[in-house]
Amino acid sequence: MPKRALSSSVASGTKRKHVTLSIKDKVNLIKKLESGTAVAKLCEEYGLGKSTIYDIKKRKKELFEFFADSDTAMAMGERKIIRHAKNDDHDRVMIEWVKQRRSEGVPLSGPLLMEQAKIFHRSMNLTTDYSYTTGWLTKFKKRHGIRQLKICEDKASADAEAAEDFVNEFVSLVETEKLSPEQIYNADETGLFWRYVPRSTLATADEKDATGVKDSKERITILGCGNAAGSHKTKLFVIGKSAKPRAFKNVKVFPVIYRSNKRAWMTQHLMNEWFENHFVPEARRHLFGNGFPAGAKILLILDNCTAHLSPEILVKVNVSVLFFPPNCTSLIQPMDMGILRALKCQHKSEFLKEMLSFLNGGETLQNFLKSYNLKTTVWSAAKAWDGIPTTTMKNAWHNLWPATIFYEDEENVDTDFKGFQISKEKAEIFELLEYVKSRGQEIAEDDAFEVLHCDDKAPTVCQLTDDEICSMVLMNSNTSVSDSEEETQAEDKMPIDSLVEVLNTAIKGLEQRDFISESDIMAIHEIKEKLRNQKPKLMKQLTLN
């Protein structure tokens, strides 16, 4: 029987020195272990035994969550033991409250935290007696690595210095890890008032006034994500208020990923779902399809809003998450450099054009708004997203990573990208105004500008009340509103024979239009063939039943 290999310390007859790792070291050890580093190598690097390594791995969830809750990674580099509060629920609610209020720019102090702790103690109906004194405050701050409560007021505006430092660190990271533009992604949310019309509405050329309608600020949140090469845009992640909008009834084919909560905002729960179930698989498929190895590295860059979980929670093998510093996104975040604006402008332009066609048919504006539903909106948004050109996606990285716009084709580089953004937006407004005039109607340039910019400041992440913080932390609530919020009635599922008849009529009409190509009509024939192929399957099911 072969002898078992002895560790170096046992073989030499010396006793291994006791080592206690910091929280940060334990988190890094688990990351290395999951990335494929051999256990023997980790034992040698950290001076630990195999059983200790596996014990640390078993505590992954606890360690990562504790690390994520800390205020600074530096504090976790010094701390070695996880000390829990006397009431974990109260402690988790308090640290979430601190994060929320900091994100809102609320100045915090020790006395304020102690008073808030008492408020939560009463609202949570805790029966244990506890004094929230300076001693509790010291332990709370130490437990979560909070070093400073105050926020410098002069950091509220865009921080050019921090942005410059981040750019240098980012470029260094890319060079060290040897990442290509294909492997680096940025994601961000934007709010969309999807049924908004100008306050003055539209009037015909011979009409001075138009019947107004109530401002419609029905909002959805859209998360867009793309890589620095401009070659891959992930499927849009759309958050609405209704869990099951009537307009979605019987819909099986969908161009976006749709989720809901009562305020149509991004939450940590939804962010984690998008990252785990959608972003990572999509990015992996794209890279593999472009010749990268199966385990190629991926870097995702996010802003530091409260709905975005920390890099220690968003963990996948060879997938890293990097966060922009506070107050820097308007300067260097690619999605803020015209990508999401382009999506919204295109959608709103199509919305107004569709409204004009409806009005020209003799219908009222009120009837149009009732007929324009959420299903139409998500298809319009998806079409606009697909239509954003590669050059726009690529050029948006010019502030963060200037080298990427010269990566493949230096001749097509737009050096004045900011000017390009402005001129493109003006062209969008001009095109819309010309279209309106061609339909015998008028719209003021200010109204067109209003529609394109009405939701620039629309919130995408909730600023929670104290009660909502409690609910989110303790119950992980994801409550949806009733389906009645969607006004549009959905039709029953159409029979296949009826669909085929509709396509036959469409083909007959399209054949008479010279701007329709042969491939366009062929695509409809292929859809018709798919429908016919389904009929035998349905007949078989009916026979068996």
Helices and strands counted in the chain (H then E): 22, 8
Q: What is the pTM of this model?
A: 0.66
Q: Backbone phi, then psi, for 477, in 5-degree steps?
A: -65, 140
Q: For position 10, what pLDDT does the model report? A: 47
Q: For position 299, what pLDDT does the model report? A: 93
Q: For position 292, what pLDDT does the model report? A: 94
Please give the sequence-ordered ranges of beta strands (E in DSSP) within 52-144, or none if there are none. none
The enclosing H or E element of 322 equals strand 319-323
Do the Cβ atoms of 369 and 213 come closer than 8 Å?
yes
Do the Cβ atoms of 227 and 279 come closer than 8 Å?
no
The enclosing H or E element of 474 equals helix 466-475
Q: For position 463, what pLDDT does the model report? A: 63
- The terminus-to-terminus CA distance of the chain in angstroms comes to 64
Can you say whether residue 178 is alpha, beta or left, with left for phi > 0 and alpha for psi between -120 and 50 degrees? left
Do the Cβ atoms of 511 and 521 come closer than 8 Å?
yes
Which residue do the tokens 């580089």 mark? 413
Calpha distance 240→180 (Å, rounded): 35
Which tokens in the block code for residue 320? 């890293």
Which tokens in the block code for residue 255? 């161009």
Of 231, 505, 535, 250, whose CA–CA distance to 390 is shortest? 231
Per-residue pLDDT of the chain (545 residues; tens, 9 = 90+): 444 444 445 445 556 677 888 888 888 888 888 878 899 999 988 888 888 999 998 888 888 777 765 555 555 666 777 777 778 788 888 887 887 777 666 777 888 888 888 888 888 888 887 788 888 888 888 777 676 655 444 444 557 888 888 898 899 889 888 999 999 999 999 999 888 877 555 444 444 444 445 556 788 999 999 999 999 999 999 999 998 898 888 888 889 999 998 888 888 889 989 999 999 999 999 999 999 998 899 999 998 777 777 666 677 778 888 888 877 888 899 998 889 988 988 888 888 888 878 877 778 888 888 889 999 999 999 999 999 999 889 989 988 988 765 444 444 444 444 444 445 556 666 666 666 666 666 666 666 666 666 766 666 666 667 776 777 677 654 433 333 344 444 455 678 888 888 888 998 888 888 888 888 888 888 888 888 777 555 444 444 44
Burial of 232 (0-12, 13-18, 19+ CB in 10 A): buried
Q: For position 424, what pLDDT does the model report? A: 57
Calpha distance 299→307 (Å, rounded): 19
Name 442's bridge partners: 203
